[in-house]
Every structure is written in structure tokens, then in C-alpha cells.
Amino acid sequence: MDALYKVMDWLLPFECFSMSFMKNALLALLLLTPLLALLGTMAVNRRMAFFSDALGHSALAGVGIGMLLGVQSELISMIVFGIIWAVMISRINRTAGESADTIISVFSSTGIAVGLLILSHNGSFSRYSSLLAGDVLTASPQDLLWLALALPVGVLLWALLYNKLLLTAVNPALAQSRGIKTKWVEYAFVSLVAVAVMLSIRWVGVLLINALLILPAAAARNIARTSRQHALYSVLMGLLCGVGGLVAAYYLNTGVGAAVVLCAAVCYAVTLPLRRLVR
């Protein structure tokens, strides 16, 4: 890491990046935001904007159930429970006949209620309150290693699933006629989103993860003419908001997650008037 820090000092000779925790936070955001932005494009296209919100809320339930089962790693508990929760939402959404927003709202409320019920036992919730807002400034070199592994794997899986997911969203009957197992493709996608969300919770927070996943993709959709442009613009906006939010939080002495999300909200506000012109 020392060699990487020296390179960053040469490339970024600014006061805000002179400290190692700021360098770690920058690297974490550079690894997190592209993956969330890519997954966000498909979530927006498939009208799953609140799906990640339900998954974020389920992180508390995952931690609580993992604690009851004696699982030492909070991350493993969140990922396993998040995948189960995501598949359950997808399955019930396909078979129950209810509207998707109703099902997602039910799961979102249930997830956070279960988590609060378990974690607040004997007044111990304060130990886990950091999950609500997150803090990317606490990212360690070991965390960066896991994120560096997650990014290429996530991008590869997204690329493999993208065309099938897009066809399934546009015309499910045509997708099935071409031999695409739409149910399993959807399960794979929601599981991928669950893993990405749970990896990000510690640094973005339960309350902000949905906004960071959706806002760059929604802003990019306002100015994109093709699906390729949508993905590219979403990644660029995610990176811009990640770096811009980190710098703004440093000089304003505020939370990084909130600053990043507000930058993404500004991007959406700026691109919204351009939507009609582009189309």
C-alpha cells in the first residue's frame, strides 16, 4: 500500500488526500461507485428502484439473525441473508399477483423491523447504529482488497447477464422463446445486487444505499440515447459524485455518504431538463 500511496501523493498533491484514511476512502469509492452505477442501470430499466432499499433494510435483519446463530462475520451474515431476501422478493413478485411496489414495501418494512427487534434487545442497538449512515473513512487496506476483487467479478457477471435481462424486461415471452430461463436470470441478477448492496452498507449506510444505486443511473438515463451510453454515463456520474462528495465532505466537515448522494441528486436535477432535448 505504501507504493500506491506514493503514487497517489504524486497524482493528487492536495491537502484533502494527504492522509491515509482519505486515500483509502477515495480508493473505496472508486471501486464501489462503478459497480453500483452499472447495476443501477438495470434496476432503473426494470423499474426496481426501491428493490435495493428493501435489501438495505434487510442488512439489519441479516446482522441480527447472524448474531443469534453465532456467525462471527457481519458481512457474511448480511450477504447470505441478503441473497435469500432478494430471491424471496423476486419469487413472490413473480407468483403472488400483487404489485411490485407493494411486495417490496412489505419486505422492506419487515426486514428493518426484524433487525431492530433483534439488535435493540437490552438496549444494544447503539453498537450497530453505524450501519444506518455508514462511514467510508473507516475503509481499511483489507477492505480495499475485497472491493478490488468484487468489482471485476461483478462487472463480468453484469456483462454476462445484461442482454438476457434487457430482453426479459422488454419482452419476456420472446426471451423464453429463445431459450432464456427468465426466472433464473432474474434470480442471478437480484443476488448480484444483494451482494453489491451488502458490500457497500458499511461505507454508504442503510439509509443512503438506494439513492447511490439509483440516482447516477437515473441521471444517466436522462441524457443517454442507447443502452451503452446509459451504462457509460452512469459509471462516469457515479465516479464523479463519489470523488466530488468525498472532497466536499472533507472541506465542509460533513458525512461522506450524504455528500456523495447530494452530488448525485444535483446530477439528476441538472440532467432532467435535458431529457426532452435529448429525446
Question: Tell me, what's the pLDDT at 268?
Answer: 92
Question: Tell me, what's the pLDDT at 85?
Answer: 87
User: What average pLDDT does range 20-49 have in this prediction?
Assistant: 85
The helix or strand, by DSSP H or E, that contains position 86, with its residue range, turns out to be: helix 74-95
Domain annotation covers residue 46: yes
Query: What are the pLDDT digits (tens) for 128-163?
Result: 667 777 778 888 888 888 888 888 888 888 888 888
Rounded to the nearest 5 degrees, what angle is found at the Cα of 193, between the Cα atoms of 189 and 199?
A: 145
Q: What percent of the chain has pLDDT over 70?
A: 93
Higher pLDDT, 27 or 50: 27
Sequence-distant (6+) residues with CB within 8 A of 269 are none
Domain annotation covers residue 274: no
What angle do helix axes 227-252 and 20-45 make, rounded to 10 degrees? 150
Q: Is 246 helix (H, G, I), strand (E, B) or coil?
A: helix
Domain annotation covers residue 8: yes
Domain that holds residue 45: 2-206
* pLDDT of 178 above 70: yes
Domain annotation covers residue 64: yes
List the CATH number of the domain containing 43.
1.10.3470.10
Query: What are the pLDDT digits (tens) for 88-120?
Result: 888 887 776 666 777 878 888 888 888 888 877
* pLDDT of 217 above 80: yes
Q: Which of 28-32, 43-47, 147-151, 172-176 has the lowest mean pLDDT?
A: 172-176
Question: Tell me, what's the pLDDT at 122?
Answer: 65
- Number of structural domains (the chain) is 1
The closest alpha carbon to 193, from 69, 92, 45, 74, belongs to 45
Domain annotation covers residue 271: no
User: What average pLDDT does range 188-201 have in this prediction?
Assistant: 86
**Neighbour tally for 146: CB within 10 Å:** 13
Domain annotation covers residue 150: yes
Domain annotation covers residue 256: no
134 grid coordinates: 455508514
Domain annotation covers residue 269: no
Q: What is the pTM of this model?
A: 0.83
Between CA 247 and CA 249 the distance in angstroms is: 5
Most confident of 3-7, 23-27, 58-62: 23-27
276 grid coordinates: 426532452
